[in-house]
Amino acid sequence: MHRLRIPRTPLEQIIEIFGLEQQEPRDVILVSLDLEVNKNRPSIDQWYAISQIGVWYFDTRCLLQPYPADHHHFATRHFIVGGQRRFDHIRKKYHFGISEHISSQDHVNDVLRNILLIPDEKTPGKFRDVILLAHGIASDLATCRKRNLILADLANVVGLLDTTYLSMEVLGVYFSLRSLLSLLGLPVKEMHNAGNDANYTLRALLLLCRYGLHPSLKKSVQTLEYFRSIAFELLPDTTSRNALWRSVKIRRADKTLEALNLGGLTFFDDI
């Protein structure tokens, strides 16, 4: 029996987390998590083989006014599991930073644990309490459980949130993440990239929170409008970054051809 449950009507818990009816927010980090699984494997394997991990950290300490002028302190991370060719291909679709490489499934569980072990800068030697968020979080928890990793039982995980239930509570309908983002009018590109989807999920939560609570919590209008500004922040332009990566790849290929032409590199052993 696990100690945490996924609330079916999460607005009340969200009010408490963000301190929308009290003086200060709860001292936690909201960790938006998205896992992509390798669906090219046989069905018996697919929930075991995680191909991508995405997270976005939202620290409630940022809600102590005045609010930050920019949102760059909300860190998004993206991990790609597999070989170098796969990494080079998928990282170009990630919008919020530089992807990180995990070479083997053997390291995935350790990465997932470390993602949630966030040192407390105010109390050395301790870790921050975290609340896990996902769109369809039961599926992500089940994926980890197949790997003998029970995220909800980690000591510093103090809550679970699911935007599917939040959309039902606010809008009256269960939506896929893509449909929910489209309905909310949020900026979206390259879905099914775990780093992007983790970011989009937290944007959806913030905007649903704003729409669901704005009429009733007049004292928190400033906070809810701040949430709206985060949700609608434009996606970073990755055109220049990806062009640079392509040029580096081309230069490497040119050097390989040059070495072959000069006889400094061969694919065959001398006979």
Residue 182: what residue type? Answer: S
Residue 120: what residue type? Answer: D
* Domain match, 91 and 108 both: yes
Give me the pLDDT at residue 246, please. 74
Q: Per residue of the chain (271 residues), what is the pLDDT tens digit?
A: 567 999 999 999 999 999 998 778 999 999 999 999 987 655 545 557 899 999 999 999 988 867 776 655 578 999 999 999 999 999 999 999 999 999 999 999 999 999 999 999 999 999 999 999 999 999 999 999 999 999 999 999 999 999 999 999 999 999 999 999 999 999 999 999 999 999 999 999 999 999 999 777 777 888 999 999 999 999 988 887 878 877 776 554 444 445 445 554 444 444 3
The separation between CA 28 and the C-alpha centre of its own chain, rounded to angstroms, equals: 16
In a domain, 244, yes or no: yes
Please give the backbone phi and psi of residue 157, each rounded to the nearest 5 degrees, phi first.
-85, 110
Instruction: Write the DSSP symbol of residue 53.
Output: E
- 205-222 burial, b for 16+ CB within 10 Å, e for fewer? bbbbbbebbeeebeebee
How far is Cα 177 from Cα 99, in angstroms, rounded to an integer? Answer: 22
* Domain match, 156 and 217 both: yes
Helix, strand, or coil (residue 34):
strand
In a domain, 1, yes or no: no
Phi-psi region of 149 (alpha: psi -120 to 50; beta: other; left: phi over 0): beta
* Domain match, 227 and 251 both: no
User: Which pairing describes strands 50-59 and 76-81: parallel, antiparallel, or unpaired?
Assistant: antiparallel
* Domain match, 46 and 66 both: yes
In a domain, 3, yes or no: no
Phi-psi region of 148 (alpha: psi -120 to 50; beta: other; left: phi over 0): left
Give me the pLDDT at residue 38, please. 81
- Residues paired with 162 in a beta bridge: 134
Judge whether 50 and 80 are in contact, CB under 8 Å: no
In a domain, 261, yes or no: yes
* Domain match, 30 and 78 both: yes
* Domain match, 23 and 67 both: yes
- Residues paired with 119 in a beta bridge: 127
* Domain match, 268 and 165 both: no
Give the torsion sign (CA, 40, 57, 106, 158).
Answer: negative
CATH number at residue 40: 3.30.420.10
In a domain, 2, yes or no: no
In a domain, 6, yes or no: no
Give me the pLDDT at residue 70, please. 64
* Domain match, 33 and 147 both: yes
Helix, strand, or coil (residue 74):
coil
* Domain match, 175 and 260 both: no
Give me the pLDDT at residue 271, please. 36
* Domain match, 162 and 78 both: yes
Alpha-helix residue ranges (DSSP H) falling in 44-193:
84-91, 108-116, 137-146, 163-171, 177-184
Give me the pLDDT at residue 50, please. 95
* Closest to 167 measured CA to CA, from 154, 152, 150, 184: 184
How far is Cα 88 from Cα 262, in angstroms, rounded to an integer? Answer: 28
* Domain match, 213 and 178 both: yes
Q: Is the peptide bond before 10 cis (omega within 30 degrees of 0)?
A: no
How many domains does one find in the chain?
A: 2
In a domain, 97, yes or no: yes
How far is Cα 78 from Cα 32, in angstroms, rounded to an integer? Answer: 12
Rg from Cα positions in the chain: 21
Domain that holds residue 262: 238-271
* Domain match, 183 and 140 both: yes
In a domain, 219, yes or no: yes
Q: Over the stretch 205-254, which tens digit does the pLDDT of each residue have?
A: 999 999 999 777 777 888 999 999 999 999 988 887 878 877 776 554 44
